[in-house]
Structure 1
């Protein structure tokens, strides 16, 4: 088992060793901790747990690469291990999140707080790390801004059954098309059909989150909400570029989602979304009706 951690404190090797022994329920003398730049020939490669550490620059001070032998019975998942280590070493710990984003991390504190964090690395030969934002206030890091991380929300899976039905129906049309093939049914990258599916899915993901009262956190970034409204704008422009059967299918699909959207929103005289987005046009008069409604509870107002 391997674990990869950052700590905000520059821990001494003995402190790391004792914390690892506590986390893994092994004797301290069965843990080997060494600087990655030290002489590797003198290490105890038969130790039950091996840890190579490096000093780093910025908001984090140490990176730990930990390998645990199969003989160790206590090998918790990385989330639990990080929490144990934060308590044992009395430091803030960051570990990689499951999303395929280099900046996506989880952060845990010695008092048990767990939150998402955005960790950025500079392009210098020796990178400098910055904790750019967290989703909950961390007492040990008072200067870090608190916000929901849009890139994390984008990565979260949301079922889109209406879009799936649209894709299935258009595929049946494609299979039934006459020879020569109708170019309006081409499903190549950047084709009109491709864009119709992408915009419909983006609109549906936001509507489904709204229907679920913004599951799982009750929050939703306003920039993603506005991106969905812009996707709805583009859907409105697509039918004239599509063949009649596909345009009809698209109107039917988006109509279902529009009805769901209306049920979860109210008329908006305050232009709530616009007010939250710097640089938005002051006049929404020419935009679609969906810009003139707002969620019954604004999810970006929640702390």
Structure 2
């Protein structure tokens, strides 16, 4: 098993070794710790746990690469290991999140607080790391801003059955038509049908989150809410550009999602300016009705 973590503090090798032994429930002499850039001749390559550490610049101090032999009976998950190590070493620990984003990390404190973190790295021969934002207040990092990370929300999959039904209906049209294929039924990058699918999925995804009480976090960034309204703008344009019967299918699908949106929102002409989204009060009078409604409970007010 391998683990890759950052620590917020500079830890001497003895403290790293002791924390590893405690975290992995092994004897201290079964742990080998060494500077990645140092002398490797005296390493105990048969140790149950091997750790290479590197000094880094910025808001984190050390990068630890830990390899645990299969002989260690309890192979912990990375979240469990990070939490145990943070408590044992009494330092904040960051470890990579599951999303495919270089900046996406989990952060755990010695007291056991776990939250999302955005860890940025600079370009250069010696990169510098900065903890740009976290999703909960971390007492040890009082200067770091607290906010919901929109890039994480974007990565979280939300089922969009209405969009799937729309595309299934389009597939049936293709089968009925045969060859040659009507350009209106071509789903490739840049085509009207492609954009219809993308924007319908975005609009439905936001409304489905609203219907679930903004799960899984119970919050939702206002900038993503605004992006979903922009997607609804584009759907309105596409419904006027597509030929029948594709336009009719899209109009029916959008209508179903709109109904769910109306049920969970209330009329409001000022929310956009108050929340700081791109639309101005003047713009609201000229755009779709969906811009003049706001959620019954504002999810970004909880950030």
> What CA distance in whole angstroms lies between the structure 1 residues aligned with 2:51 and 2:190?
48
Kept in 1: contact 2:132–2:144 (CA 8 A):
yes
**Counterpart in the other structure of 2:164:** 164
> What CA distance in whole angstroms lies between the structure 1 residues aligned with 2:101 and 2:233?
29
**Counterpart in the other structure of 1:65:** 65
**Counterpart in the other structure of 1:187:** 187
Which residues of structure 1 form unaligned runs of 5+? none
Structure 2 residue 24 is the aligned partner of structure 1 residue 5: no
> What CA distance in whole angstroms lies between the structure 2 residues aligned with 1:138 and 1:277?
26
> What CA distance in whole angstroms lies between the structure 1 residues aligned with 2:117 and 2:37?
28
Structure 2 residue 274 is the aligned partner of structure 1 residue 275: yes
Residue 277 of structure 1: how far off its partner (Å) = 2.6
Structure 2 residue 260 is the aligned partner of structure 1 residue 263: no
> What CA distance in whole angstroms lies between the structure 2 residues aligned with 1:66 and 1:93?
14
Kept in 1: contact 2:36–2:52 (CA 8 A):
yes
- Aligned residue runs from structure 1 range 148-297, under 5 A: 148-269=148-269, 271-277=270-276, 279-283=278-282, 284-297=284-297
> What CA distance in whole angstroms lies between the structure 2 residues aligned with 1:64 and 1:79?
15
**Counterpart in the other structure of 1:56:** 56
Residue 172 of structure 1: how far off its partner (Å) = 1.1
> What CA distance in whole angstroms lies between the structure 2 residues aligned with 1:31 and 1:25?
11
> What CA distance in whole angstroms lies between the structure 2 residues aligned with 1:3 and 1:294?
44
SS in 2 for 1:40: coil
> What CA distance in whole angstroms lies between the structure 2 residues aligned with 1:273 and 1:102?
31
> What CA distance in whole angstroms lies between the structure 1 residues aligned with 2:126 and 2:73?
37
TM-score by length of 1: 0.98
**Counterpart in the other structure of 2:122:** 122
Cα RMSD, aligned residues only? 1.0
> What CA distance in whole angstroms lies between the structure 1 residues aligned with 2:288 and 2:180?
37
> What CA distance in whole angstroms lies between the structure 1 residues aligned with 2:277 and 2:165?
36
- Aligned residue runs from structure 1 range 18-97, under 5 A: 18-97=18-97
Mean alpha-carbon deviation: is it higher for 222-231 or for 35-44?
35-44
Residue 123 of structure 1: how far off its partner (Å) = 0.4
